[in-house]
Amino acid sequence: MEPQQRNWAKSNLVLITCIALIIIGGASAAVAHYTDLTYREVTLNDDGYVVQIQTMDRTVEELLDKYEITLGPGDQVLPGLGEELQDGTSIEIQRAFKVTVAADGDEKTIYLIKGTVEDALKKAKVALGEKDLVNYDISQRVMPGDHIKVTRVKEETMVEEERIPYRVITKNDKKLDKGKEKVTQEGKEGTKERKILVAYYDGVEVNREIVEERVSKEPVDMIISKGTYVAPPASRGSVSRDKKSTDSKTSTSKSKSSKDTSKSKDTSKSKDTSKNKDSSKDTSKKSSSSKSTSSKSSGTKSVLASGTYTFQATSYTHTGNKTRTGVWPKEGMIAVDPKLIPLRSSVYVEFPKPWSHLNGNYKAMDTGGAIKGKIIDIFIDDKDTVWKFGRVHGVKVTIP
């Protein structure tokens, strides 16, 4: 019996071993099959950094969370976070970069993956006007950290008027007594209009340009008649006639005596001589009067001829008013007596020390109530310098 029992035990051991091997093989196959079904091999491209990952995660979001991959403002991931992973899925993360856009006193921060300056402006919701300026070409590709600045440009046209002074014309008048003057035509100022194009950058004026200039009203000359008539001296013929009459009367009344006749002739000659002297004195007085009148007439102010003259100089600064010629005062302008120096004419001014640094060319653009005769009033931009300037004598003014 013992041998049979031993054979039976051996048979059972072999059977059990086979069953165990079958069970273990099936479990291994099942495990392998389960692994094949749950693990997925995916490719992750994070802005150019590529890795291969085997994962059991079901969605893109679960995979990113597992590996602590975060998305920043503007970053994009394809496929989307909710998409399910498949074996062989390729995940791409595109990282956005920061760009700032400044316009209308406001600054915005936007995030872009790629694009042009124009794309950045659209994303920032900034519309460009026809004349607006941008610090980059709008077709240029944006780069990380770019600062895009939009300058608003506005243009407007304004009309500026300038007075045109009238000329003073003097004409000789033979019918008017010498030394007398009469205004035969009143002068009237004209008007010049300028159309000026003014440009503003972000509300600040940056440029002015004259686009049109025309005379809207012509000036009318003032005409002054200057008398040249001089009354002729008393006629010597009347003295001769008086002499003959006197001689006739003397001859008749004294015909009896030759001595008396001689005396009468002498007396007549004496009277004639006296009359001739009186007539000469009258003529001399009239001539003297005529010279005096001519002298007074020549004292009237007239425009200075070319040459160098000695003037006095004062100074002024901003008053809030435009000049007589209708422009704002600036350095290089002077106020003059227009009867001596015409407005808008240029002169060379030479100052004595310590003001010789002001020597140079100046333009006569203004007048003043106290600027009469050989005085100029120089515009100086600094108020303190004006106070120090006072009145300077011995200033040489050269008229070309």
> Tens of pLDDT along the chain (400 residues)?
455 555 656 666 666 776 767 776 655 554 444 444 578 899 999 988 999 999 999 999 999 998 899 999 989 999 999 999 999 999 999 999 999 999 999 999 999 999 999 999 999 999 999 999 999 999 999 999 999 999 999 999 999 999 999 999 999 998 889 889 999 999 999 999 999 999 999 999 999 999 999 999 999 999 999 999 887 654 333 334 344 444 444 444 444 444 444 443 444 444 444 444 444 444 434 433 333 333 333 445 689 999 999 999 999 999 889 999 999 999 999 999 999 999 999 999 999 989 999 999 999 999 998 899 999 999 999 888 998 999 999 999 999 9
CATH number of 307-399: 2.40.40.10
The string of DSSP letters for 262-317 reads HHHHHHHHHHHHHHHHHHHHHHHHHHHHHHHHHHHHHTS--PPPSEEEEEEEEEE-
Q: Strands 190-201, 153-164: parallel, antiparallel or unpaired by DSSP?
A: antiparallel
Q: Which two tokens stand for residue 19?
A: 């069953």
104: alpha, beta or left, given left = phi > 0 and alpha = psi -120 to 50? Answer: left
Q: Which two tokens stand for residue 31?
A: 């495990």
Q: Describe the strand order of the beta sheet including 153-164 as a list of residue ranges.
A: 153-164, 190-201, 204-217
Regarding the domain delimited by 155-229, which CATH topology (the fold level of the hierarchy) does it fall under? Resuscitation-promoting factor rpfb fold (2.20.230)
Q: Strands 204-217, 333-335: parallel, antiparallel or unpaired by DSSP?
A: unpaired
Domain ranges of the chain: 40-94, 97-151, 155-229, 307-399
Class of domain 97-151: alpha beta
Q: Strands 307-316, 360-366: parallel, antiparallel or unpaired by DSSP?
A: unpaired
Q: Do 152 and 104 touch, CB atoms closer than 8 A?
A: yes
Q: Do 128 and 134 touch, CB atoms closer than 8 A?
A: yes
Report pLDDT for 251.
Answer: 41
Same fold, 40-94 and 97-151: yes
CATH number of 40-94: 3.10.20.90
What one-character DSSP code corresponds to residue 87? T
Report pLDDT for 30.
Answer: 47
In angstroms, rounded to a whole number, what is the distance separating the alpha carbons of residues 322 and 325? Answer: 8
